[in-house]
């Protein structure tokens, strides 16, 4: 008996929904085994994580706080992935967006009317994210430079650039050596609606819905889909590939930049260490797990945030390393990746007598 | 001045060792057509494993083998996902990095002794010490080359061996063929999947060994994020060396040198902030990539395996 993969004629819709759900269950199971090895009760751990993320309204607002940047960057990364452009630079785009928003908030308040300060800071942040994604996109479209590495390297450049600023010229002179800028004027604070949960959530939800419409109901969305599936066919049909990749990547970076702008204006109110705790990398999981569906990205973003917050919580209550959340995230991806094959292929068992030598 | 050069050379070699191991490993993997972006996670796992084994058994060689084993296991997972299951290699590699860095930090807080709250951080374990080669280590300027730890000496030997294997043996020829043109290699009777599995796993072993060098020699001990982005530098070094193990040393010396010079500059109280100096390797990578891509499109092939990152499926022909 022999088992082979046979290409399906159509993508399996059932597998598209089935695979992420089954992956999640498998990963809980495998991580459970790991926990057992370290003599930790997996059911208690998962219950602790769930309670930590959703157990009370105040816990839930913390989950939202982490979900907002994940939703925005996840949406951004999905746009690029649709074109098979491997943007793994959301981390840097987010950071650069945060730096630009901080620049507006700190230095433009003297001449910009107060009511304009926040909207301008957020817009400039998004533009900066777009610029940061535009560099690798331009290099790819113009010269054919591989984007996986350029986007990745620019993450480090952006993070070090921001470090150079808040340790150097932007450092708060009254900060008693604290590495960070001074506080933004209150006019540049993004309003919070409960706990630390802030208006960025509305941005994420509105953008998610809009993107769903754009991707599924407009000509542009259709063109992007085509470029991702088959560049040659798209070119034959007169779709401008370079221009579209560039535009899509600017949009992709803008969403991450927006996420960074929201983080500094709503959460820290200054530029400081730890602006991004790997949101840009988790965004890749969000995009992948949601199968690039913008509405699914919102829910997956929330789920990933719950893992992060839950991981932090079991660290406090059960003395487990907070990296638990990260381990679970990685674990979800493995079965998911293995399972992605089943959307395009099906297993076919060939019995020996039928093989006909 | 001579003292300065000597000390920079010494730091460069020490910093370069783990990079060279991982770079040669990744060169083998990429030569077979598999892109592994999981190096950062695999190095972290190698480092935490090596340190923990060294702490608990006191046996350095066991520690090194354990780290290689862990690297091989993670690489085998990547191979299974990207070869058998034809998963996207970029995403598979990244998930190995995410899982590896998470799990390494988990282990770092679980594998220590009870007395230390199960933490590995802050403990001291047997480590590789420098072994000066009598006579040679007293040479002016280059003496530092002959006052290194065992793993660094091994890496000196590994570079020519790896080069010879790739370019002068039948195995190397098959490997290159699989990365360049799997269809043809398959037609010639080479088992594409098998070769990809073998070299992905071999690459993982060397990456794990690179991680072990960090926690057993370069910065002995376990700290969170002990690799500090070296895994990504390795991916850049592979390009920089144009997939040739012979050139891996060059890249490592330059990148290690940037580190060393910056270390000296900071010690001498420069006004350039450390953050901007730290950017150098990442910016250099982008520039190298741009120049090489330009070169490849306008002149001749640079040497990247043609089938890199593309999964091969016989039935799809």
Mark which residues 221-280 of A lie under 8 Å from B by CB.
none
Q: What pLDDT shows up at residue A142?
A: 92
Q: What pLDDT shows up at residue A11?
A: 67
Q: What pLDDT shows up at residue B131?
A: 86
Q: What residues of chain B lie within 8 A of the CB of A345, using their CB?
A: 86
pLDDT-derived band of residue A352, with 50, 70 and 90 as boundaries? Answer: low
Q: What pLDDT shows up at residue B316?
A: 55
Contact of B106 with chain A, judged by CB distance below 8 Å, is answered with: yes
Residues 6 or more apart whose Cβ sits within 8 Å of residue B129: B149
pLDDT tens by residue, B116-132: 888 999 899 999 998 88
pLDDT-derived band of residue B155, with 50, 70 and 90 as boundaries? Answer: very high
Four-residue CA torsion sign, A330, A332, A337, A338:
positive
Q: How far is A333 from chain B (nearest CA, A)?
A: 6
A34-48, B155-169, B236-250: range with highest mean pLDDT: B155-169
Q: Are A338 and B81 within 8 A, CB to CB? A: yes
Q: How far is B145 from chain A (nearest CA, A)?
A: 31
Closest in B77, B235, B278 to A334, CB measured: B77
Q: What residues of chain A lie within 8 A of the CB of B279, using their CB?
A: 156-157, 160-161
**Is A149 within 8 Å of B239 (Cβ atoms)?**
yes
Task: Kindly state the DSSP code that residue B145 receives in the 8-state scheme.
Answer: G
Number of neighbours of residue B2 by Cβ within 10 angstroms: 8
pLDDT at A357 over 50: no
Contact of B306 with chain A, judged by CB distance below 8 Å, is answered with: no
pLDDT tens by residue, A255-279: 999 999 999 999 999 999 888 888 9
**What is chain A's length?**
357
pLDDT mean over A20-25:
84
Q: What pLDDT shows up at residue B199?
A: 97
pLDDT mean over B143-171:
91
Best probe of the B interface among A35, A321, A347, A348, by most B CBs < 10 A, is: A321
pLDDT tens by residue, B17-55: 999 999 999 999 999 999 999 999 999 999 999 999 999
d(CA A153, CA A131): 15
Half-sphere exposure of A216 (CA within 13 A, CB side): 10
pLDDT mean over B95-101:
91
Mark which residues 14-43 of B lie under 8 Å from A by CB.
35, 37, 41
Closest in A38, A145, A157 to B283, CB measured: A157
Q: What pLDDT shows up at residue B241?
A: 87
Q: Are A157 and B92 within 8 A, CB to CB? A: no
Q: Are A323 and B105 within 8 A, CB to CB? A: yes
Element (H, E) at A71: helix A57-82
Q: What residues of chain B lie within 8 A of the CB of A150, using their CB?
A: 286, 289
Size of interface A-B (CB pairs under 8 A): 140
pTM exceeding the 0.95 threshold for the entire prediction: no
pLDDT tens by residue, B178-203: 999 999 999 989 999 999 999 999 99
Q: What residues of chain B lie within 8 A of the CB of A144, using their CB?
A: 293, 297
Best probe of the B interface among A139, A149, A286, by most B CBs < 10 A, is: A149
Contact of B271 with chain A, judged by CB distance below 8 Å, is answered with: no
pLDDT-derived band of residue B4, with 50, 70 and 90 as boundaries? Answer: confident
For residues A5-36, one letter each, b for 16 or more C-beta atoms within 10 angstroms of the residue's C-beta and e for the rest, the string is beeeeeeeeebeeebbeebbebbeebbbebbe
* CB neighbour class for A173 (10 Å; exposed up to 12, middle 13-18, buried from 19): exposed
pLDDT tens by residue, B54-77: 999 999 999 999 999 999 999 999
- The residue of chain B with its CA nearest to that of A168 is B273
Q: What pLDDT shows up at residue A300?
A: 93
Q: What percent of chain A has pLDDT over 70?
A: 96
Four-residue CA torsion sign, B227, B92, A147, B32:
positive
Mark which residues 239-258 of B lie under 8 Å from A by CB.
239
Q: Are B98 and A152 within 8 A, CB to CB? A: no
Least confident of A215-219, B103-107, B313-317: B313-317
Q: Are A329 and B98 within 8 A, CB to CB? A: yes
Contact of B101 with chain A, judged by CB distance below 8 Å, is answered with: yes
Q: What pLDDT shows up at residue B317?
A: 44
Q: Are B90 and A86 within 8 A, CB to CB? A: yes
Q: What residues of chain A lie within 8 A of the CB of B37, using their CB?
A: 148
Q: Are B98 and A333 within 8 A, CB to CB? A: yes
CA angle at residue B108 from A308 to A45, to 5 degrees? 40
Q: How far is A113 from chain B (nearest CA, A)?
A: 34
Q: What pLDDT shows up at residue B315?
A: 60
For residues A298-319, one letter each, b for 16 or more C-beta atoms within 10 angstroms of the residue's C-beta and e for the rest, the string is bbbbbbbbbbbbbbbbbbeeee
Mark which residues 91-150 of A lie under 8 Å from B by CB.
139, 143-146, 148-150
Q: Are A150 and B286 within 8 A, CB to CB? A: yes
Mark which residues 127-186 of B lie under 8 Å from A by CB.
none
A36-45, A76-85, A120-129, B9-18: range with highest mean pLDDT: A120-129
């Amino acid at each position: 008996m022999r088992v082979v993969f046979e290409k399906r004629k159509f993508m399996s819709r059932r597998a598209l929904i089935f695979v992420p759900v089954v992956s999640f269950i498998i990963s809980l199971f495998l991580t459970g085994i790991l926990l057992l090895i370290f003599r930790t009760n997996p059911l208690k751990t998962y219950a602790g994580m769930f309670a930590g993320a959703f157990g009370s309204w105040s816990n839930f607002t913390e989950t939202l706080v982490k979900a907002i940047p994940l939703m925005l960057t996840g949406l951004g990364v999905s746009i690029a992935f649709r074109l098979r452009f491997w943007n793994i630079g959301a981390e840097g785009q987010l950071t650069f967006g945060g730096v630009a928003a901080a620049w507006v908030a700190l230095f433009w308040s003297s001449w910009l009317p107060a009511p304009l300060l926040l909207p301008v800071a957020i817009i400039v942040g998004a533009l900066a994210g777009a610029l940061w994604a535009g560099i690798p996109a331009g290099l790819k479209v113009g010269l054919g430079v591989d984007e996986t590495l350029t986007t990745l390297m620019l993450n480090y450049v952006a993070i070090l650039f921001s470090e150079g600023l808040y340790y150097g010229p932007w450092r708060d002179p009254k900060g008693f050596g604290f590495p960070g800028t001074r506080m933004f004027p209150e006019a540049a604070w993004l309003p919070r609606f409960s706990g630390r949960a802030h208006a960025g959530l509305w941005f994420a939800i509105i953008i998610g819905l809009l993107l769903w419409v754009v991707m599924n109901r407009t000509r542009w969305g259709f063109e992007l889909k085509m470029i991702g599936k088959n560049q040659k066919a798209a070119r034959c049909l007169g779709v401008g590939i370079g221009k579209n990749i560039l535009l899509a990547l600017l949009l992709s970076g803008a969403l991450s930049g927006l996420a960074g702008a929201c983080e500094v204006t709503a959460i820290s109110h200054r530029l400081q260490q730890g602006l991004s705790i790997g949101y840009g990398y988790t965004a890749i999981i969000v995009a992948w797990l949601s199968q690039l569906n913008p509405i699914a990205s919102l829910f997956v973003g929330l789920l990933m945030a719950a893992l992060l917050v839950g991981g932090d919580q079991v660290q406090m209550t059960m003395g487990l390393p907070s990296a638990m959340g990260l381990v679970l995230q990685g674990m979800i991806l493995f079965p998911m990746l293995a399972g992605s094959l089943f959307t395009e292929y099906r297993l076919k068992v060939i019995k020996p007598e039928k093989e006909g030598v | 001045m001579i003292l300065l050069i000597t000390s920079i050379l010494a730091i460069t070699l020490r910093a370069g060792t783990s990079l060279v191991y991982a770079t040669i490993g990744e060169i083998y993997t990429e030569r077979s057509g598999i892109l592994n972006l999981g190096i950062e996670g695999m190095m972290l796992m190698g480092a935490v494993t090596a340190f923990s084994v060294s702490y608990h058994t006191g046996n350095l060689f066991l520690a090194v083998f354990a780290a290689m084993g862990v690297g091989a296991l993670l690489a085998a997972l990547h191979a299974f996902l990207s070869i058998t299951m034809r998963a996207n290699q970029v995403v598979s590699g990244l998930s190995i990095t995410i899982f590896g860095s998470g799990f390494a930090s988990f282990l770092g807080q679980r594998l220590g002794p009870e007395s230390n709250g199960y933490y590995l951080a802050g403990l001291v374990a047997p480590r590789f010490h420098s072994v000066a080669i009598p006579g040679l280590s007293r040479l002016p300027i280059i003496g530092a080359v002959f006052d290194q730890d065992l793993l660094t000496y091994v890496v000196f030997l590994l570079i020519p061996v790896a080069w010879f294997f790739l370019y002068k043996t039948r195995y190397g020829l098959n490997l290159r063929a699989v990365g360049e043109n799997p269809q043809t290699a398959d037609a010639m009777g080479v088992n594409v999947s098998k070769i990809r599995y073998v070299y992905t796993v071999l690459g993982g072993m060397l990456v794990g060994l690179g991680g072990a060098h960090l926690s057993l020699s370069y910065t002995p001990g376990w700290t969170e994020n002990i690799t500090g982005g070296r895994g990504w530098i390795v991916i850049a070094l592979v390009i920089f060396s144009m997939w040739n193990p012979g050139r891996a040393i060059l890249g490592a010396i330059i990148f290690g040198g940037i580190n060393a010079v910056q270390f000296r500059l900071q010690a001498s109280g420069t006004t350039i902030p450390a953050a901007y100096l730290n950017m150098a390797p990442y910016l250099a990578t982008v520039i190298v990539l741009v120049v090489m891509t330009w070169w490849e499109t306008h002149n001749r092939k640079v040497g990247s395996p043609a089938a890199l990152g593309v999964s091969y499926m016989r039935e799809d022909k």
